[in-house]
Structures are given as C-alpha cells and as structure tokens.
Amino acid sequence: MDTLSSARERWLSTSMTDPRIFQLGFTALYLLDLGLRFAFGARWPWLSWPMASLLLLAVLAVLAVLTPFLRPDRSAHAPIVLAVLDLAAVGMARLDPDPGSGLLIVMPALWLGRIAGRTGVLISVGSVVLLVSIPSMLYSGLEPVETARAVLYPVVAGAAALVMAESMEWIAHQRRVSEAIFDTVDVGLLLLDARGRYAGMNRRHQEIMEIGFPDGHSGRAGQVGEAYGADGRTRLTPEQSPSHRASLGEEFDDLRIWIGRDPEARRALSVSARAVRTESGAVGGAALGYTDITDLMRALQVKNEFIALVSHELRTPLTSIVGYTQLLEDDAELSDLARRQVAAVQRNAERLRRLVADLLDVAQYDAGAVGFARDPIDLVAVVRDTVEAVERTAEEAGVAMSAALPETMVVVGDGQRIAQVVDNLVSNAVKYTLSGGAVQVRLAADDGQAVLEVADTGLGIHPSDVAQLFNRFFRSREAESRAIAGAGLGLSIAKDIVEGHGGRIEVESELGQGSVFRVRLPAGA
C-alpha cells in the first residue's frame, strides 16, 4: 500500500497523464465547437479542412484508446506527439471561411505543460506558431483581425502551459515535503475517506500494519487482524476497532490496544482519532494517530507488580502492629503517657494500612483485575454512614458539616467500593477546609442518575492543577505547601470506581473559595 497516497490522488494522477482521457475529452470539445458552428448557420463542403481535422482527431482518439504504445508507462514521447497533432487539427480547422474556435489550443497547451513541464511550454509555443498562427495568417491574407489573433495564440498557449507546469511543480514539491514530514514523525498516521477506506498512511503506520495484519489487509476500516484490547488478551471485534469507530465520526484520545500474534512480542499502541467533516457537517473521513507505548506499558506492568509485591509484604507486619497496639490499649496498667503513645502508634499504623490498601487498589485497577459486585444498594444509607463517621473529625477541626439527603435512593453496584468513594470525597473536603469553614453533602436524582455532591468552603484548587487532579500520585500545590498528609491516590481510585460503575466524577473549584466534587451514577431499582 502506497505511503501517504489516496485512491483519489491516484485517480487524479492517472486522469491527468492518461492520453486516452485527454484525447477523448479534447475530441468531445471539438465536436461541441463543430456542432455550435452548424447550429449558428456555418456551412462548408464535406471535403474541407475542418472535416479533415475532425477525421484526424477521430483517428487519434481511436489510437489513444486502442494502442498501448501511447500510454505514459510505455513511451514518454508519444503523449507529446499526440498533443502536437491536436494543435495541428486546430490549425486545420482555422483554414475555413467560418473558422473553428482558436480557444481550443488551450487544452493541448495545458496538457503539454502537465506532462512535459517547462519543456512543454516551448513545445506549445513553437507548435502553435508553426501549426496554427502561420497557416492562419497565410490563409486570411494578413487580414487584421485574424492576424491579431494569430499573434495572440502563441502567447495564450505559452501562458496556459507555463501556469500548468509551475502549478504541477509546486504541487509535486509540496507533496514531497508532506511525505517527508509524515514519514519523519515516529507516529503511525492513517487517513480514512468517507466510506471508511484507507486513503493514505505513512511509513510508520505501514510497519504497524505488518505487525497487526500479518496475513494482509484489504484497506478498509473495521478489520481487526491480531488486535487486542487494553488487557492484551481480549481480541477486538470489528465494531471495537479504532478505525471503525473513527469512520463513524467518533473522536477519542489515548485508546489503548495491543497488536501482534505472539503474546511475548506484542506492541502496545495509543490511538487518537479526529473526524474530517464536510461543509455541511457530515463525516467526510477521519485521521488517526498510532503511538507505540509498549515500553511505557511494560514499565507500568513492572511498577504494578512491584507495588503489589511490596504492599503484600507490608500487610503482614502491619497486621501484627495493629493487633498488638489494640492489646496494649486494653491493658489497665498502662499509664496515661503510654496510652497516648499507643494511640499515636495506632493512628500511624492505620494511616500506613490505608496507604498499603490504596497501593494494592492502584495495582489491581491498572492491571484490570478488579471486579465489582452488582447488587442493589441504598446510596442514602452509604452516604449517611460516611457523614456520621466523619462528623467527629470535622468537629475537632472546627468544620461544620451538613447533609441534604432524600429518604432513599437505590443504585446497582458494589456497596463497599462506592462507600470508599464517598469516604474519600467527604474526608478530603474536611481535610482541605480550614477551621470555621463548612462542608455540605447533597444527594439527588437527575435525569435517571444519582448525583452526589460534596461541597466545601476550603482552600480550593489552582486552575492548572484541576486537569491532573485524578492522576496517580498527583498532589496539588496547596496540599504540598501546607504539608497536608496524603499520597495522591484517593481521587484516582475514586475515579476508577465511579467509571467502573458506568458513572463519572466531576470537579468545580475556585482557588481560596472551595470546591465541589460531583459523582454521577446510573440509578437502578
């Protein structure tokens, strides 16, 4: 498959260099001129120069269609000779009391400029002078009007051929530059036409195609070959393939897939797509970019395996620490100082336990190994339990808490995981709100969705931090400047849980004024 070449470009290139198309078109134009002259009263005997020129054009048309020798791939000079003979036919048509249109010289001149460049300009001018202008002047006896036309014909032909030659040279240069640019980038680029056919690709995408389609490709969107989902195991269906989705007008970023027959040698790709639309807004094609992220995905896999290993190793000693501190706390002989010290150990052990749990969750989510229960749960009860559990912490921090909850609201999902989301949002709201501030929790139904809002009057989030808020290990500049405890994992885990339930999480924030986190979950009976 040609790099960066479309079916349309190939058709245009063929139509502009194929003598058959040119000759048939020029003959049809000559017949139109002849017909108009008859229609407006021109008369001449059958044995005349115009009829001889028509016979010449007919012979040339037949030769162009039937003779392989005239094809550009068989002879470089035959198409030029064909155009010169067409100019001779125009010159013959001018040798008549009712002469044919001299404008017909433009078409062979354009053709010569197209196939011969600047050399075609010289051939056009010379041929028009010898075959059109001089015979016309001799026939008319230097009649003023015909003489003026005869002088202008070479100028017009030369100008037409020159414009075409310069245009084709500029187009060829721009095409070479475009091909160089597209083949230089280390991203696979694919163009689709309005019918989902492959219209063009660069060299990098050709290499990707060889890996993903070792048995060949028909050049149409929707083929999957050896393509798999983000987990590297589930084979994509035609409807799930990036090219098919893009051909329908869908736009997306960072769609991750794996390609390759050998599981050990598969390549990971991040795919982005943008629709190409017509002036009316209809889908006229699409452009896709394929970035190889295999090294990144392998590194993430190693990181997740390491995190999971370390987290599991930490769990056992943590369990012992928490167990022994609980035993110490129950010891009646413990002094007040020792009791406070044990409480500090418990708090830090609990903090470390939560961190380990978060790390394990991150590793599981990234590996796609988390499954969610699908049970009817009363979201009101989940939210109320969380608010009651956090109220004491809020009171100690001087933060007023309030909740506006309906009597009941049922969603289908994993109650423990959803409670984890609510706890994270409410705890964060209290943590980032200064003494004297307020946190309000609201739950309502909206267009078939359960909408949970956690609003605070706290520190707010800097606008440049909002876009990264749900990234792994990201901490806002306010959290870092005030040394607020946290690993930057809670919100990313909350986002994974919400999206795993078919919902979405949003945030609105104004620095120094507070934030509103909004969770939308599909309501269910």
Q: What is the pLDDT of residue 233?
A: 84
Burial of 388 (0-12, 13-18, 19+ CB in 10 A): exposed
161 close to 134: Cβ distance less than 8 angstroms: no
Q: How far apart are CA 127 and CA 108, in angstroms?
A: 10
Lowest-pLDDT range of 104-118, 237-251, 453-467: 453-467
Q: What is the pLDDT of residue 44?
A: 56
- Over residues 401-426, the mean pLDDT reads 87
Q: How far apart are CA 37 and CA 30, in angstroms?
A: 11
Q: What is the pLDDT of residue 14?
A: 44
Does the structure show a pLDDT above 80 at 41?
A: no
Q: What is the pLDDT of residue 516?
A: 92
Q: How far apart are CA 403 and CA 396, in angstroms?
A: 18
- Over residues 321-348, the mean pLDDT reads 79
Q: What is the pLDDT of residue 497?
A: 85
428-454 residue pLDDT tens: 888 888 889 999 999 998 888 899 999
Per the model's pLDDT, the better-predicted residue between 124 and 326 turns out to be: 124
Q: Which alpha helices (H) appear in 129-143, and where do they start and end?
A: 134-140
Q: What is the pLDDT of residue 370?
A: 61
Q: How far apart are CA 292 and CA 294, in angstroms?
A: 6
- Over residues 352-370, the mean pLDDT reads 66
pTM of the model: 0.50
Averaged pLDDT score across all residues of the chain: 82
Q: How far apart are CA 458 and CA 460, in angstroms?
A: 6
What are 192's strand-pairing partners? 198, 286
Q: How far apart are CA 6 and CA 194, in angstroms?
A: 12
17 confidence band (pLDDT: 50, 70, 90): low
- Over residues 249-271, the mean pLDDT reads 91
Nearest residue to 269 (alpha-carbon basis) of 220, 204, 213, 208: 208
Neighbour count for residue 283 (Cβ, 10 Å): 17
Distances (CA, A) of 69 to 63, 81, 451: 9, 12, 75
Convert 70-94 to b/e letters by CB count within 10 Å (16 or more is b). beeeeeeebbbebbbbbbbbbbbbb
Residues 6+ apart with CB under 8 A from 449: 503, 520, 521, 522, 523
* Residue spans of beta strands (DSSP E) within 128-247: 188-193, 198-201, 227-228
288-312 residue pLDDT tens: 999 999 988 888 777 767 766 766 6
Give the position of tokens 């000779």. Answer: 81
Q: Write out the H or E segment, with its range, that includes residue 158.
A: helix 144-184
Distances (CA, A) of 460 to 201, 333, 380: 46, 46, 27
Q: How far apart are CA 284 and CA 280, in angstroms?
A: 10
Q: What is the DSSP letter of 448?
A: T
- Over residues 23-32, the mean pLDDT reads 86
Q: What is the DSSP letter of 408?
A: -
Q: Which range, 10-24, 42-56, 424-438, has the best average confidence (pLDDT)?
A: 424-438
